[in-house]
C-alpha cells in the first residue's frame, strides 16, 4: 500500500513539475514578464525545497514518516491550486510554486528511506526502480493554470493513504539458524532501544542535528558527491525548463504539441531507465562501490549522447528589425 501511495505522490509531483515547464511560454505571455523572471518562478520550487530539506530529512526520520509525507502531499496540492487573474500578480505563482516545493520535500527522502528500511534485502532498488466557471467561460481559452488544479487534486488525494499507514512496518528477518536465545536477545534489544529513545529530549535531538550536519560537511567524499549532484541537477533543470520554449519558437510548435512530443519521448525512456537500473542492481547484487561504478558508466554514456547536440545546426528564424530590415532585406 505504501509503495502504491508513494507512486501516486511521485506521479502528482512529476505532473505538476512538467506542467510548470510546459507553461513557461504561456506564463511569460500572460503576465508580460521576461524569461529570467519566469526562470525565477520555476526555481522557486527548489527554493521552497531548500528551506526545509535539512530539517525534514533529519527530524522526519525520527517521527511518523508516512504521516509527514501525507502532510507534504497535501501542502504540495495546496501550492498547485494557487492562481491569480491579474497580469501584475505573477508573484502569487512564485509563492504557490515555492509552497509546492516545501510540500514536496518529505516525499523523496522519507519515502525512499521508509522503503529501504522495511523492504527485503536487495529489493529496495527495484521498488525504487472546483472553481465556479461554466464551459462557455472565456477563461478556458489558454487556461494554462488548469493543469495545476488537476495536479493539485491528485496530490491531495495521494496524501490520504499515508495517514493510515503505521510508523514502522514488520521488517523481513534474515534467515538464521534456530536459536533459543534469539527471541530473548531481540526482546532485550527492543527494550533497551525503547528506554534509550524515551531518554532522549529535544535539546539532545537538536544537538544531534548540528553534529550530523558537521559530520557530513566535513566528509570530503560526501562533499564531492554533493557538488557533482548539484552540477548535474542544475544542468538538467536548465535544459528541461527552457527546452519547451525553444521547441515552440524554433520549430513553430504549439505548447500542447510540444508537451505531447516530450511526453512520448521522455516518459517511456525515463521509466525504462529507472526499472532497468533497479533490476540490474537487484539482479547482480551490486555493493555501494558497484552502484557507483554502474552510475559512472551510465553518466558517461549519457554525456557522449549529449555531445551529439553540437552536430545539430538550426537556422535562426528571420525577425524584422533584428535579422532583417522592415523591407524584408
Does residue 181 lie in a domain region? Answer: no
Q: Which domain holds residue 15?
A: 2-129+141-169+205-311
Contacts of 72 (CB under 8 A, 6+ apart): 56, 102, 103, 104, 105, 106, 107, 159
Tell me which of 120 and 75 has the higher pLDDT: 75
Q: At what angle do helices 220-251 and 35-60 cross, to 10 degrees?
A: 150
Is pLDDT of 163 > 60? yes
- 174 or 211, which is more confident: 211
Domains identified in the chain, total number: 1
Q: Is residue 176 part of a domain?
A: no
DSSP-assigned letters across all residues of 186-220: HHHHHHHHHHHHHH--HHHHHHHHHHHHHHHHT-H
Average pLDDT across the chain, whole number: 70
Q: What is the domain-level CATH number for residue 287?
A: 1.20.1250.20
3-state class (DSSP) for residue 320? strand
Residue pair 278/129 in contact (Cβ under 8 Å)? The answer is: yes
Q: Is the pLDDT of residue 6 over 80?
A: no
Lowest mean pLDDT among 116-130, 155-169, 269-283: 116-130
User: Grid coordinates in use for 179?
Assistant: 536459536
Tell me the pLDDT tens digit for each residue of 67-118: 777 777 777 666 665 555 445 566 777 777 777 777 777 776 666 666 666 5
Residue 191 lies in a domain: no
- The predicted pLDDT at position 54 comes to 74
Q: Which residues contact 121 (CB under 8 A, 6 or more apart)?
A: 172, 174
- Top pLDDT among 135 and 165 is at 165
For residue 98, tell me if it sits in a domain: yes
- What is the average pLDDT across 240-256? 77
pLDDT of residue 320: 63
Residue 82 placed within a domain = yes
Phi, psi for 280 (deg, rounded to 5):
-65, -45
As a whole number, mean pLDDT of residues 226-251 equals 79
In angstroms, the CA 161 to CA 9 distance is 10
Per-residue confidence (pLDDT) for residue 136, from 0 to 100:
44
Overall average pLDDT of the 9-35 stretch: 74
- Residue 181: pLDDT band by 50, 70, 90 thresholds? very low
Alpha-carbon torsion, ordered 227, 228, 231, 236, to 10 deg: -140
Residue 56 belongs to a domain: yes
Inside any domain, residue 93: yes
In this predicted model, what pLDDT tens digit does every residue of 221-230 receive, in sequence order? 888 888 888 8
**Is 195 a domain residue?**
no
For 282-327, write each residue's pLDDT tens digit. 888 888 888 888 888 888 888 888 888 788 776 766 666 666 666 6
Question: Whole-structure pTM over 0.75, yes or no?
Answer: no
Residue 76 near residue 10 (C-beta atoms within 8 A): no
Q: How confident is the model at residue 196, as a pLDDT?
A: 52
Q: pLDDT tens for residues 24-43?
A: 777 777 777 777 777 777 77
Amino acid at each position: 500500500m505504501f509503495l502504491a501511495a508513494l507512486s501516486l505522490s511521485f506521479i502528482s509531483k512529476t505532473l505538476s513539475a512538467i506542467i510548470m515547464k510546459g507553461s513557461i511560454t504561456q506564463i511569460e505571455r500572460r503576465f508580460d514578464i521576461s524569461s529570467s523572471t519566469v526562470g525565477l518562478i520555476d526555481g522557486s520550487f527548489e527554493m521552497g525545497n531548500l528551506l526545509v530539506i535539512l530539517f525534514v530529512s533529519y527530524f522526519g526520520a525520527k517521527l511518523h514518516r508516512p504521516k509527514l509525507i501525507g502532510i507534504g502531499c497535501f501542502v504540495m496540492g495546496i501550492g498547485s491550486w494557487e492562481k491569480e487573474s491579474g497580469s501584475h500578480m505573477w508573484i502569487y505563482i512564485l509563492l504557490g510554486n515555492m509552497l509546492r516545493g516545501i510540500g514536496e520535500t518529505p516525499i523523496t527522502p522519507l519515502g525512499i528511506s521508509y522503503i529501504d528500511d522495511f523492504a527485503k534485502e536487495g529489493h529496495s532498488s527495484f521498488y525504487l526502480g472546483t472553481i465556479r466557471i461554466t464551459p462557455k467561460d472565456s477563461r478556458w481559452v489558454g487556461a494554462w493554470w488548469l493543469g495545476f488544479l488537476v495536479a493539485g487534486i491528485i496530490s491531495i488525494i495521494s496524501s490520504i493513504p499515508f495517514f493510515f499507514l503505521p510508523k514502522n512496518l514488520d521488517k523481513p528477518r534474515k534467515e538464521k539458524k534456530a536459536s533459543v536465545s534469539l527471541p530473548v536477545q531481540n526482546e532485550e534489544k527492543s527494550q533497551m532501544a525503547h528506554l534509550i529513545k524515551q531518554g532522549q529530549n529535544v535539546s539532545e535531538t537538536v544537538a544531534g542535528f548540528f553534529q550530523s550536519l558537521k559530520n557530513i560537511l566535513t566528509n570530503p567524499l560526501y562533499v564531492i558527491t554533493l557538488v557533482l549532484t548539484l552540477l548535474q541537477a542544475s544542468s538538467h533543470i536548465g535544459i528541461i525548463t527552457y527546452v519547451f520554449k525553444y521547441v515552440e519558437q524554433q520549430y513553430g510548435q504549439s505548447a500542447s504539441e510540444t508537451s505531447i512530443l516530450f511526453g512520448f519521448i521522455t516518459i517511456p525512456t525515463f521509466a525504462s531507465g529507472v526499472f532497468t537500473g533497479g533490476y540490474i542492481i537487484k539482479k547482480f547484487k551490486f555493493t555501494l562501490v558497484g552502484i557507483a561504478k554502474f552510475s559512472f558508466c551510465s553518466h558517461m554514456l549519457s554525456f557522449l549522447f549529449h555531445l551529439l547536440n553540437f552536430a545539430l545546426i538550426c537556422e535562426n528564424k528571420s525577425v524584422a528589425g533584428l535579422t532583417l530590415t522592415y523591407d524584408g532585406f
